[in-house]
Amino acid sequence: MEPAPVAIIATGVDGTTRPLVSEAYKEAMCGTIALYDQTGERVHTEYLGTMPEAGKATFAQRFTARVAWAKACYPDALHVC
């Protein structure tokens, strides 16, 4: 059986504060890239996260690259965020 084609790419980003040893609370980043078929059934979810970092550059670069990859794999899919 072939997997259903991906119709929607849904992305989301959030942050959560984490206590660090010998430091104050800092914000760690997390994000999801979820793929849905044309019936709205979720067929895959990818989770990304990083430890706290000033400016969140590492997370932004990784997440943006993964979203671009998903959009390239499924060029006809609607991207919602």
Q: How are strands ordered across the β-sheet holding 8-19?
A: 42-50, 25-36, 8-19, 78-80
The domain limits of the chain are 8-80
Q: What does the chain come to in residues?
A: 81
Predicted TM-score (pTM) of the model is 0.85
Q: What is the pLDDT of residues 23-68, one digit of tens each?
A: 888 889 999 999 999 999 999 999 999 988 888 899 999 999 999 9
Whole-number Å distance between alpha carbons of 62 and 64: 6
Whole-number pLDDT of residue 1: 57
Whole-number pLDDT of residue 3: 64
